[in-house]
Amino acid sequence: MDSQKEALQRIISTLANKNDEIQNFIDTLHHTLKGVQENSSNILSELDEEFDSLYSILDEVKESMINCIKQEQARKSQELQSQISQCNNALENSEELLEFATRSLDIKEPEEFSKAARQIKDRVTMASAFRLSLKPKVSDNMTHLMVDFSQERQMLQTLKFLPVPKAPEIDPVECLVADNSVTVAWRMPEEDNKIDHFILEHRKTNFDGLPRVKDERCWEIIDNIKGTEYTLSGLKFDSKYMNFRVRACNKAVAGEYSDPVTLETKALNFNLDNSSSHLNLKVEDTCVEWDPTGGKGQESKIKGKENKGSGTPSPKRTSVGSRPPAVRGSRDRFTGESYTVLGDTAIESGQHYWEVKAQKDCKSYSVGVAYKTLGKFDQLGKTNTSWCIHVNNWLQNTFAAKHNNKVKALDVTVPEKIGVFCDFDGGQLSFYDANSKQLLYSFKTKFTQPVLPGFMVWCGGLSLSTGMQVPSAVRTLQKSENGMTGSASSLNNVVTQ
């Protein structure tokens, strides 16, 4: 019976997943159909605009050519009219002279005839008819303004849609996810020397498999990529996966998208748990700051003996009242001199990494992990349920590892930012200089319960960076060092505090 129920549960889970997959595909088809309709309408509008532009250019060219023909016609007409006018004047003068010469033949008196003859000779010499060119200045030929658009007609007949680049292919094997960076590599299905650049689009998601249409973030675009790979660095991995797609572009148009690829970007993400933090701590999601006025005004006072045994320097003790109802979580609020705040996400398996940066004037702080059973008066490192490194800048400067109320002084410089590596299954907690990846200290133990990131701060503040993969340098150091440097067992030989 039980085995049949388990088998039926598996079948139900498989069917539910398949139904979800089919529904997502239907949503994708509807989205694609809507896109076809919208894009077709846009393309038709663009086609009308392009042809209207061609018609406009042809009309402008036609008008210009018509003006050229009319200007040439006017020029030649003016030249010929001028010649005709000059010839008419010359002919009129010549006919008048001819008539005078003809009449002079009838003169009988020799002296008078001789005088007339000299006048005729002088007038003939000066007559415009003999200086006039009888060749037309222009011809009636207009062939130099004729046109032949046969080539242009052939060219117009070859008008076609733009050549679109084929869709690239993303190679998941060549893609790399490491150190909060993602390198995406792709190739073209065939060589295309007209490709000018590529466009890469990406978005975060918590769904494996094909990208979903609904309930997803918008695609982020990276344009003008000249090569066939691109690296996104400095990412915060606050989702389980990232979708990627790429398209090729020539000088005129972008091609089809590649098939989308989903890459896993899993990392530990957590915030600080304000519901159980000490009242003297001002807590936001990834920041905590000492607030000496945070516990004042409460009606009930905690007893002085509850603060006894603390080695952490503190200002004048602030009265705090009873714990208010917790918004989340089920543990008591830290009180007394346990100026502690825990993360809101438990670590139950795997390897995880986060970083912590203290304010420059922070007088005292601790960074580490603790079981959920850490008492509300307990300080990090003072019980066998917590492990930490502690920085003290009050009165004297100390840097030490703490566990089970035992201390190991660290002969290294306190870094600007501390990286925390927790290997739950391997029972290892290591601290690094987050910038140089120098190992500061490692605890080797066996975690018997889920652990929570833990933080203590007094007179200052801490800021937290999560959503980080275990850095490659840390993984390499873990392998080479075997995680044994400064093991927790060494704390058994030091004096308790």
Whether residue 428 sits in one domain with residue 288: yes
Whether residue 432 sits in one domain with residue 289: yes
Confidence of residue 105 (pLDDT cuts 50, 70, 90): confident
Do residues 367 and 431 touch, judged by C-beta distance below 8 A?
yes
Whether residue 337 sits in one domain with residue 413: yes
Residue 477 is predicted with a pLDDT of 85
Whether residue 338 sits in one domain with residue 438: yes
Per the structure, the count of domains in the chain is 3
Residue 408 lies in a domain: yes
Residue 308 lies in a domain: no
Whether residue 438 sits in one domain with residue 398: yes
Q: Which domain holds residue 148?
A: 13-157
Q: What's the predicted TM-score (pTM) here? A: 0.65
Residue 275 lies in a domain: no
Confidence of residue 39 (pLDDT cuts 50, 70, 90): confident
Whether residue 124 sits in one domain with residue 179: no
The stretch 120-149 carries a mean pLDDT of 87
Whether residue 176 sits in one domain with residue 145: no
Whether residue 473 sits in one domain with residue 374: yes
The strand ranges marked E within 98-149 are none
Do residues 195 and 186 touch, judged by C-beta distance below 8 A?
no
Whether residue 457 sits in one domain with residue 382: yes
Higher-confidence residue of 349 and 122: namely 349
CATH number at residue 392: 2.60.120.920
Confidence of residue 273 (pLDDT cuts 50, 70, 90): very high
Query: Is 229 a residue whose pLDDT tops 90?
Result: yes
Do residues 246 and 170 touch, judged by C-beta distance below 8 A?
yes
Residue 478 is predicted with a pLDDT of 82
Distance CA 108, CA 396 (A): 154
Residue 490 is predicted with a pLDDT of 53
Place of tokens 């998941």: 172
CATH number at residue 209: 2.60.40.10
Residue 413 DSSP code: P
Task: Identify residue 8 by its one-letter amino acid code.
Answer: L
pLDDT, tens digit (0-9, with 9 covering 90-100), for 420-465: 999 999 999 999 999 999 999 999 999 999 999 999 999 999 999 9
Whether residue 146 sits in one domain with residue 19: yes
Confidence of residue 365 (pLDDT cuts 50, 70, 90): very high
Whether residue 474 sits in one domain with residue 340: yes
Residue 40 lies in a domain: yes
Residue 273 lies in a domain: no
**Tokens representing 90?**
């010359």
3-state secondary structure of 371: strand
The strand ranges marked E within 233-323 are 241-249, 254-257, 261-264, 281-283, 287-290
Whether residue 152 sits in one domain with residue 42: yes
